[in-house]
Amino acid sequence: MLLGESMVSYIESTISLGIQIIVLGLLVGAFFLKTQKKYRQHGIVMLSAVILHIISTLAVMVRSFAAFIGPGPVDLSNVLVMVTLIHVSAGLLAALLGVWLVGSWHLKIDMQNCFRKKRVMDATLVLWFMAIVLGIFLYLVIIGAV
C-alpha cells in the first residue's frame, strides 16, 4: 500500500496518464478530421491537445522527471533511464513543435499557410505518439505492472 507522498505521486501520475490518453484520443480524432478535410476543426482539436499536454507536462511530468533523474551523474547504461530520456526528448520536442504549429495558425480561417507545414505536422505527430507510448510504458513500469 502506498502512503503519504508516494500515494500523492501515484494519484498525480495516474491523472496525468489519463490526460495523456485523452490527448491520444484527440490526436486520433484530429487525424480523422484532417482526412475528412475538416481542417479548421482539426486545428481546434489539436490546439486542445497541445493545451492539455502542456498542462499535464508542467503539473506532473517535469517534477516526476526531476525526481527520477535526481542529482548526480545519469546512468546511461540503465535501459529505463534511456527509455525515460527518449520519452522526455520526444515529448518536449512534440510539445514545442505543437505550440509553434498552433501558435503560427492562431485560429485563422485560411489554411494555405498550414498546408506548407505538413512535414513538420507529420514529424510532430510521430514524436507525440512515441512519447505517449513510452510514457504509458514508463507508468506501467513505475507502478509495477511490467
Phi, psi of 64 (to 5 degrees): -65, -45
Whether residue 105 contacts residue 45, with contact meaning beta carbons closer than 8 Å, is answered with: no
Which pLDDT tens digit goes with each residue over 44-92? 898 899 999 899 888 877 777 777 677 777 777 878 888 888 999 999 9
pTM of this structure:
0.78
146 contacts: CB under 8 Å, gap ≥ 6: 137, 140
